[in-house]
């Protein structure tokens, strides 16, 4: 699940109230733990989280002032990789997802979503997204987009617009990038002298501008990418998938997962600056 190459897909409603009357007992807790972990694995959330530390570290390398010593650069790099440890982030996301399910009374929805990922339709649609990471994807995608817009393509694009909205794809990818940008700026402040500091109003301005730019680009790009990766999916399958994603249980899970991921990354970003300063 890569921030610009893949989107997470949450699929297929299974409506039985699997935890009715026992969600707070041992079996309910075990089911919730299993469900949250299966959801993360199916959506390749660990792959997404593993990209956070390298992304922040590489951005810092390019943006730190020249007078930051090599020692401080290495120490900051170590702090970044510690704060964004993928396994710790994964545990935080999973726990947040379970907590939201408990708070909102949506434990059955979480379990249903995990079970649904084993269905052939979900497996197929998620698997198709892996093509966005192939070497020739950009070239083939451009050739596809440059083709004349047929009535069939226009109809499918309208379906995919709805699908992307229900899956929170643009919101997740925007939040991922913006959260890491803000973390990088605050880490840079922690390692830089007063003359290189970026004040809070400027940070807010930079974040807001970046958010707008990313959202605008993704709103144009994501539906077309999904149109391309689903190009060989039948109309009937696509329609079934759109209907499944629009169910309240799946909409809730999409939103909860997005929030859990962004919250975990935000908390890690705060740890970077504080841990670096405490170690100074």
Per-residue pLDDT, averaged over 94-105, amounts to 96
Per-residue pLDDT, averaged over 179-197, amounts to 93
Per-residue pLDDT, averaged over 210-215, amounts to 95
Sequence-distant (≥ 6) Cβ neighbours of residue 228 within 8 angstroms:
140, 141, 144, 145
Q: What is the pLDDT of residue 245?
A: 82
* Residue 147: C-alpha distances to residues 4, 16, 79, 150, 222 (Å): 23, 44, 48, 9, 17
CA contacts within 13 A on the Cβ side of 264:
28
Is residue 250 predicted with pLDDT exceeding 90?
A: no
Q: What is the pLDDT of residue 39?
A: 85
Q: What is the pLDDT of residue 280?
A: 63
Is residue 24 predicted with pLDDT exceeding 80?
A: no
**Which of 116-125, 204-213, 232-241 bottoms out in mean pLDDT, i.e. has the lowest?**
116-125
Q: What is the pLDDT of residue 31?
A: 81
Q: Average pLDDT, whole number, for the chain? A: 86
Per-residue pLDDT, averaged over 56-74, amounts to 94
Is residue 9 predicted with pLDDT exceeding 80?
A: no
Is residue 125 predicted with pLDDT exceeding 90?
A: no
- pLDDT tens string 130-150: 777 778 888 999 999 999 989
**Global pTM value:** 0.86
- pLDDT tens string 42-53: 888 999 999 999
Sequence-distant (≥ 6) Cβ neighbours of residue 57 within 8 angstroms:
77, 80, 81
Tell me the pLDDT band of 5, cut-offs 50, 70 and 90. very low
């Amino acid at each position: 699940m890569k921030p610009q190459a893949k989107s997470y897909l949450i699929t297929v409603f299974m409506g039985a109230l699997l935890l009715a009357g026992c969600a707070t007992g041992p079996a309910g807790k075990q089911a919730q733990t299993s469900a949250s972990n299966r959801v993360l694995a199916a959506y390749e959330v660990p792959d997404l989280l593993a990209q956070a530390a390298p992304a922040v570290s590489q951005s810092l390398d390019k943006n730190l002032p020249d007078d930051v010593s090599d020692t401080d650069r290495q120490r900051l790099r170590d702090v970044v990789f510690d704060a964004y440890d993928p396994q710790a982030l994964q545990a935080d996301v999973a726990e947040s997802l379970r907590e939201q399910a408990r708070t909102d009374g949506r434990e059955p929805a979480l379990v249903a979503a995990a079970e649904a990922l084993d269905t052939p339709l979900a497996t197929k649609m998620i698997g198709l997204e892996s093509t966005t990471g192939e070497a020739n994807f950009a070239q083939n995608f451009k050739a596809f987009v440059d083709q004349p817009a047929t009535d069939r393509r226009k109809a499918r694009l309208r379906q995919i617009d709805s699908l992307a909205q229900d899956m929170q794809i643009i919101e997740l990818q925007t939040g991922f990038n913006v959260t890491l940008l803000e973390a990088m700026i605050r880490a840079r402040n922690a390692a830089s002298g007063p003359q290189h500091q970026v004040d809070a109003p400027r940070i807010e301005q930079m974040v807001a501008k970046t958010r707008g730019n990313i959202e605008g680009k993704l709103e144009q790009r994501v539906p077309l990418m999904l149109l391309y990766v689903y190009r060989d999916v039948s109309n009937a399958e696509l329609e079934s998938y759109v209907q499944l994603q629009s169910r309240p249980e799946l909409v809730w899970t999409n939103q909860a997962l997005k929030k859990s991921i962004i919250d975990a990354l935000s908390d890690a970003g705060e740890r970077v600056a504080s841990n670096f300063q405490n170690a100074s």
